[in-house]
Amino acid sequence: MPAQKIETGHNDVVHDVQMDYYGKRVATASSDTSIKIIGVSSNSATQPLATLTGHQGPVWQVAWAHPKFGSVLASCSYDGRVIIWKEGNPNEWAQAHVFHEHKSSVNSISWAPHEIGLCLACGSSDGTISVLTLQADGSWDTNRIDQAHPVGVTSVSWAPATAPGALVGSGLLEPVHKLVSGGCDNTVKVWKLFNGTWKMDCFPALQMHSDWVRDVAWAPNLGLPKSTIASASQDGTVVIWTVGKEGEQWEGRVLKDFKTPVWRVSWSLTGNLLAVADGDNNVTLWKEAVDGEWQQVLEVASCSVNAALVSDMCILVSSINFDPCQSLRQELSSVAVGVQFPFTKFVVLRFLEKIEDGLARARAAIKEASRSQSYTSEEEQTFIPRGPVYRNPYAFHQSHIEMVKRFKIWTYKEGEPPLVHQGPMSYIYGIEGHFIQEMEDGMSLINKFLASNPNEAHVFFLPFSIVNIRISFYKPHDFDRGPLNRVTLDYVNAVAEKYPYWNRSHGADHFMLSCHDWAPDISFGNPKLLQNLIRALCNANTSEGFQPVRDVPIPEINVPARQLNQPGLGLHTSKRRIFAFFAGGNHGHVRKFLFEQWEKDNEIQLYEHLPKHLNYFQMLGKSKFCLCPSGYEVASSRIVEAIRADCVPVVIKDNYSFPFSDVLDWSRFSIHVPVSKIPEIKTMLKGISPKEYEKLIQGVNSIKWHFTINRPAKPFDLIHMVLHSVWLRRLNIRLSY
């Protein structure tokens, strides 16, 4: 029979499709948050019957209940909710129950065998499995398996109601209450209901996979003397697990290493055929031979099938074509053979799923590099970070390799210059303009990080300029943050309404960058909306709401007007005659305290106004220690100026989050002096031995490249380091799908 195309009417990615018991209707789940019910027939005619709305995030799976309970459908979503739908009049659906106790995405649902009752298992990214059971009074009882897979449950499947070896439907035995689950901890676990409590029924957990378990399926049991489970994994393998008698150990056998992630497995009605869907978009059918070996009997390719081999089944496969001009276009291609209901699940490589898979692999590579004290790269490395200035040089090196290999950033195109897509290119806010320009310059070498389509992006850049907003909307001595907050909130709301990405993550994979003192204040415009936004800030003051785990501290640089970096005029250490030096305005309580204590000292040279005959950069180059006190804010260009002059920075600040401190050990190339210790500065610096000082200078030289601006950006330079800091924040979160 030729393939039958079904236009679903969804306007985003389709994640699941299931036929009802009689093979007359298809239910589809999509990222557009809706569910479609579509009528199908043997003459290729299709008819849209209903659209179910109620979820607030992508819908991952749908599942039809047994028709003995009426027309009932369940759905699960990224929004953490499970909705059970019931059809009243034909094609009129209502929500019979909404379960919203999960704290994260619900990834999988499965109806129990009808002998148990109307009972639904739900697996969530919060690590919990919930079992919902309809009671006689119409209410729903909830039983939980807490921490089933602590890092996330990916799949659940019920055991047959009949025990191995029992007669089907004999009614002589109590139905079996067992579940199998797969998780992000790479394990498969079997659960059994004991006296109203679910307990693990396999010790230890079944472990043959080396990566996430993507799907599990318990085989139907038509009186066979054993139980069989199939598990599919990100590692590319399918494992067949079997056990004979109750209480015996499960034994695992690798069906095949497919050399690509395996997404779904599903059994035929009789349990003698297994369908496997892999990452190369192949669906293969496998059958166990008499000698116990599994043999491939069919490959479903290009939505065609040999009817002679599967005359007792209906196979449902689906494909998604990407049209760059028309966003996503969904088409479901089905092949119906015979009159039985389908056994395969919908298979699709979801964009977010692929992104999270790549990040998981990056984390594993970084961890292995740290353990083995080595790195793995497909390309020649021109810069090798080594030495004590790095907290973990091998982990940092591998992380940078993984970033270059995988990291994709989407810069929103909305908005007009100068408020958006344009920023200052010089003075102390210059990094803002250079970063924005670098992120939007298709000719830049950094364009390897620029996503060609937002669906492939790991993070999303909000390219507004705090400096230009300040210039455009404010008069001198106007300090009201209201206009600034309104402009930035309007921009966020505009892209959130136009695209699904902000709402998908609640802003956790979005970032902005600015060195303006007011930049941190945008969060106060709508703290709830912006609570997850990654803020790359120079003014990284932890006492004013900067969160190092979420936010990115970046160095403030006084970018020269006609060049990118200050001149390097540092003398050899043996020729440096100035013990400690600072020149700058006497503003802010830290600098006032510093001047009060040391302005008249002969060895610590402080200048509020540097005499015209003295060159500032030459003075830095003649100094052993360069003082870097806070001004009105903690951010200051003095740190980078000291580094560029081969002068040891003496950072005099409280509550400051140091730039790139995820990978750099600042104690190896700088001195940190709390504000309360300003009277002791001279004693502290005098206590540094010549040997210790030389090590500090070596450290300064080692990290100088990380504080150098290049256009176009180059590996491990300042712009790359900023990107790496954002990359690390993205690695630290996992978005559910």
Residue ranges per structural domain of the chain:
1-100, 103-267, 351-406, 409-558+723-732, 573-707
Q: Nearest Cα to 560, choosing from 713, 423, 709, 719?
A: 709
Residue-level pLDDT at 358: 87
| Calpha distance 99→121 (Å, rounded) | 12
SS3 506: coil
In SS3 terms, 91-122 reads as CCEEEEEEECCCCCCEEEEEECCCCCCCEEEE
Residue-level pLDDT at 442: 57
| Calpha distance 250→237 (Å, rounded) | 17
pTM exceeding the 0.75 threshold for the entire prediction: no
Q: Nearest Cα to 628, choosing from 596, 656, 662?
A: 656
pLDDT, block means (10 residues), the chain with 737 residues: 72 88 89 94 81 95 94 96 96 96 95 94 96 95 95 94 56 77 96 94 92 94 78 96 88 94 86 85 82 77 32 31 24 25 32 81 86 81 89 92 94 94 93 93 70 92 95 86 92 93 92 96 90 95 92 95 81 91 95 96 95 94 96 94 96 96 95 97 96 96 95 92 96 75
The answer to whether residues 700 and 643 touch, using CB atoms and an 8 Å cutoff, is yes
In the chain, count H helices and then E strands. Answer: 12, 38
Place of tokens 């540092």: 570
Asked if domains 103-267 and 573-707 share a fold, the reply is no
Place of tokens 């019931």: 86
Does an H or E element contain 132, and which?
Answer: strand 129-134
Residues with Cβ within 8 Å of 179's Cβ and at least 6 positions away in sequence, in order, are 121, 129, 131, 156, 157, 158, 159, 190, 191, 192, 198
Lookup: tokens for 42:
């043997």
CATH superfamily, region 573-707: Glycogen Phosphorylase B; (3.40.50.2000)
The answer to whether residues 184 and 212 touch, using CB atoms and an 8 Å cutoff, is yes
Burial of 522: CB neighbours in 10 Å, binned 0-12, 13-18, 19+: buried
Residue-level pLDDT at 724: 96
Rounding to the nearest 10 degrees, give the CA dihedral for residues 418, 422, 428, 434.
Answer: -170
Q: Nearest Cα to 715, choosing from 433, 372, 365, 396?
A: 396
What is the distance of C-alpha 514 from the center of its chain?
Answer: 23
Residue-level pLDDT at 372: 83
103-267 adopts what CATH topology?
A: Methylamine Dehydrogenase; Chain H (2.130.10)
